[in-house]
């Protein structure tokens, strides 16, 4: 049996820098991954492909061919079989790459199970723009339509609190509501410690945050709650509605997460550390 973790993906910055003639948006994003927060996949040899879903976020996850895990399996081995179990802990459509991370974990695990090579970046893009970056689960600068990936300096120790107010923020309308789509790219990633990392991040943006806040006021409520917990930086991830707060120590993040969960028992709250590679 093969086991793979699908860690939550966090866009610490997300700049929309253009739009191609075919409609695809051009992005420039610093993508990192949560060390302690994610979904888990188990894959066993079988004659046919199948998917079952367990865990606290299992409700509503499709188990038909539209599921990204099964699409990943069909991409890697159209005639191969496996019994796949997804233990779902990440909220759905939440801006932290749950489906893409699951698909990438399936590709990694099935490639080992079936003794095959991983697909190319272009092949992974058929599953979604976030799948290539999720395949390695390492901090990276993601540009273009998700096809251009480059390393970044090692991250200092950084702890995060992820918060989802359990509202739906549809990606399409958020992109459509952008005031402009030719925004400046990120500055070149450069930092040596937590202070310089925060200073660099403070000058970057998530261009999707303003239209997401307009669509779902709960996003602003979540950001305000994180700032009241003295987060060094609070920002929305991806197209929302999950927001993150960054902290220098594990104790600070744990204390903030406990306070937020107590004040908002209907929210999804998770304290984690960022993986440094």
Q: Is 181 a catalytic residue?
A: no
Catalytic annotation present for 130: yes
d(CA 221, CA 28) in angstroms, rounded, equals 26
- Where do runs of H (alpha helix) occur along the chain? 68-76, 98-113, 121-125, 131-136, 171-176, 194-202, 209-215, 218-228, 250-263
Evaluate the CA torsion angle 127, 3, 249, 261 in order and state its sign.
positive
Could you tell me how many helices (H) and strands (E) the chain has, helices first? 9, 10
- Is residue 37 within 8 Å of residue 8, measured between CB atoms? yes
Integer Cα distance of 29 and 27 in angstroms:
6
Is 271:253 a contact under the CB 8 Å cutoff? yes
Distance CA 177, CA 77 (A): 38
Which position among 28, 39, 102, 130 bears the catalytic label?
130
Q: Alpha-carbon dihedral of residues 144, 218, 258, 251, nearest 10 degrees?
A: 40
CB contact set of 172 (below 8 Å; sequence gap of 6+): none
Active-site residue, selected from the candidate residues 9, 28, 39, 102: 9
SS3 (DSSP) at 126 = coil
* Residues assigned a catalytic role: 9, 130
């Amino acid at each position: 049996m093969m086991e793979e973790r699908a860690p939550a993906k966090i866009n610490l910055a997300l700049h929309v820098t253009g739009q191609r003639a075919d409609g695809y948006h051009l992005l420039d994003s610093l993508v990192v991954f949560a060390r302690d927060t994610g979904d888990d996949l188990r894959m066993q040899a079988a004659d046919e492909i199948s998917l079952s879903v367990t865990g606290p976020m299992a409700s509503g996850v499709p188990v038909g061919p539209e599921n990204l895990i099964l699409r990943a399996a069909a991409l890697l081995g159209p005639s191969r079989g496996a019994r796949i179990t997804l233990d779902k802990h990440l909220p759905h459509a939440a801006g932290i790459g749950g489906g893409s991370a699951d698909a990438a974990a399936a590709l990694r695990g099935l490639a080992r199970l079936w003794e095959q090579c991983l697909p190319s970046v272009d092949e992974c893009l058929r599953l979604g723009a976030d799948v290539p970056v999720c395949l390695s689960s390492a901090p990276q600068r993601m540009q273009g339509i998700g096809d251009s990936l480059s390393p970044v300096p090692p991250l200092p120790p950084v702890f995060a609190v992820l918060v989802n107010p359990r509202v739906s923020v549809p990606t399409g309308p958020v992109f459509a509501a952008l005031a402009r789509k030719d925004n400046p790219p990120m500055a070149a990633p450069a930092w040596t410690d937590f202070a310089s990392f925060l200073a660099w991040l403070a000058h970057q943006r998530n261009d999707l945050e303003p239209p997401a806040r307009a669509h779902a006021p709960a996003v602003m409520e979540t950001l305000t709650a994180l700032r009241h917990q003295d987060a060094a930086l609070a920002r929305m991830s991806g197209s929302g509605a999950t927001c993150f707060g960054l902290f220098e120590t594990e104790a600070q993040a744990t204390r903030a997460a406990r306070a937020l969960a107590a004040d908002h028992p209907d929210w999804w709250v998770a304290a984690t550390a960022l993986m440094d590679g």
